[in-house]
Amino acid sequence: MENKKTIKYAKAVSELRQDVVTGDWVIIATGRAKRPEEFAEEEKETIKEDSEKKCFFCFPEMTGQEEDVLIYQDEEGSWSLRVFPNKYPAVSRTREVKHMEEGPYFAMDGVGYHEIIVTRDHKRQIALMEKEAVAEVIDAYQERYIDLMNKKSVKYVDIFHNHGSKAGASIPHPHSQLMAIPVISPYVQSELDGAEIYHRSNQHCVYCSMVEWEREKGKRIIFENDNFIALCPFASRVAFEVWVMPKKHSPYFERISSENKVQLAEALQKAVGKIYGALNNPDYNFYLHTAPCDGKDYPHFHWHIEILPRTSIWAGFELSTGIEVSTIQPEVAAEYLRKQE
């Protein structure tokens, strides 16, 4: 039975609010709340790359950070990667999901898990890592995903990586984030629906069709190995957008094998490395899209990673239509990226 209550404001727990027209979800992150006047006062801070001595992620235990939920160590016993709860989470850890109503509006407590995945080296970003180090990051993604996917309040686990201030990284130390939440985002849902519709019409996975076509033509591929392909998608939303995809049909990232993790690490490092070289270390985001963990079956989906360099800013047209404008053909972008070592 649903536990419903009337919405009350100024709460300590974050909220997930649903747009009554579109069905889109937003998070009101009260754990990160600011006073209204602070938005006007705030000045953009420049991230300094020489701030290693004061870096929160180099010495997280000195900041009052909660205990690690996962830690990897090297042969000498020093930590090489660690995962810990975000000190300022967008969602709050609690067992019960409370639903709320206010007139035509609907919301629920913003419950879930928000974690930080940190590699040891302050300056060595993924573009500069060896593939073994990237594979360790992917190990952590998988391990934390599996641990959280069956939690009562979790329906989707979102794993993402922000690089640079324009991409939302407030701390320069390389790190990824994980948010396990009780809803499936409209963006992921639209991919799930589109994949199912395509399969119903064509009796074939839409992502597999993309892989097969791109491998046949070759003009948008920037890298491939035995099991993975990196390409500039046909309908790229931003300049130099790249997707990394398994060649073999696979809906569920968490089922990735040890061999495939190394192959994925190589493909991801090569893709990010080529963007790094071609665009002189741009700010970028990448995120993993995989089938939800809500107890349903999604055989038509195909997990993948989307990498979006921050080469432009949304303006009036993009905001009013949702149609993004890219200023270079994906074929031209791919040809340029292929030339990067």
Residue 36 confidence (pLDDT): 53
Distance between CA 196 and CA 249 in Å, rounded?
A: 14
Amino acid present at 138: I
Burial of 77 by CB count in 10 Å (0-12 exposed, 13-18 middle, 19+ buried)?
exposed
Q: Which of 132, 160, 184 is a domain's end point?
A: 184
Domain identity same for 62 and 153:
yes
Q: Which of 184, 202, 227 is a domain's end point?
A: 184
What does pLDDT average to over the chain?
A: 89
Domain identity same for 234 and 302:
yes
Q: Which of 184, 203, 225 is a domain's end point?
A: 184
Residue 28 confidence (pLDDT): 73
**What confidence category does residue 32 fall into, taking pLDDT thresholds of 50, 70 and 90?**
low
Domain identity same for 161 and 290:
no
The average pLDDT across 263-273 equals 98
Domain identity same for 194 and 227:
yes
Q: What is the dihedral of CA 198, 203, 207, 213, to 10 degrees?
A: -110
Give pLDDT tens digits for 229-264.
999 999 999 999 999 999 999 999 999 999 999 999
Domain identity same for 169 and 20:
yes
Structure tokens that stand for 97 in this block = 């999901």
Q: Which residue has the tokens 């324009």?
A: 166
Domain identity same for 158 and 219:
no
Structure tokens that stand for 131 in this block = 């593939």
Domain identity same for 200 and 179:
no
Residue 141 confidence (pLDDT): 98
Tell me: pLDDT of 225 over 50: yes
**What confidence category does residue 321 fall into, taking pLDDT thresholds of 50, 70 and 90?**
confident
Give pLDDT tens digits for 161-178.
999 999 999 899 999 999
For residue 292, give the nearest of 196, 175, 228 by alpha carbon.
196
**What confidence category does residue 9 fall into, taking pLDDT thresholds of 50, 70 and 90?**
very low
| Close Cβ partners of 9 (under 8 Å, ≥ 6 residues apart) | none
CATH number at residue 75: 3.30.428.10
Instruction: Decide: 186 and 23 in contact? Cβ < 8 Å.
Output: yes
Tell me the β-bridge partners of 239: none
Instruction: Decide: 14 and 91 in contact? Cβ < 8 Å.
Output: yes
Own/partner pairs, 333-337, CB within 8 angstroms, 24+ separation: 333/232, 333/236, 333/239, 333/240, 333/241, 334/219, 334/220, 334/221, 334/222, 334/231, 334/232, 335/219, 336/278, 337/222, 337/232, 337/240, 337/242, 337/274, 337/275, 337/278
Q: How many structural domains compose the chain?
A: 2
Domain identity same for 163 and 38:
yes
Distance between CA 188 and CA 46 in Å, rounded?
A: 32
Structural domain harbouring 232: 187-338
Domain identity same for 223 and 164:
no
Domain identity same for 74 and 85:
yes
Distance between CA 154 and CA 94 in Å, rounded?
A: 11
Q: Which residue has the tokens 């027209």?
A: 21
Domain identity same for 101 and 13:
yes
Domain identity same for 72 and 197:
no
Give pLDDT tens digits for 291-317.
999 999 999 999 999 999 998 888 898
Taking the alpha carbons of 39, 174, 246, 312 in that order, is the dihedral positive or negative?
A: positive
**What confidence category does residue 51 fall into, taking pLDDT thresholds of 50, 70 and 90?**
low
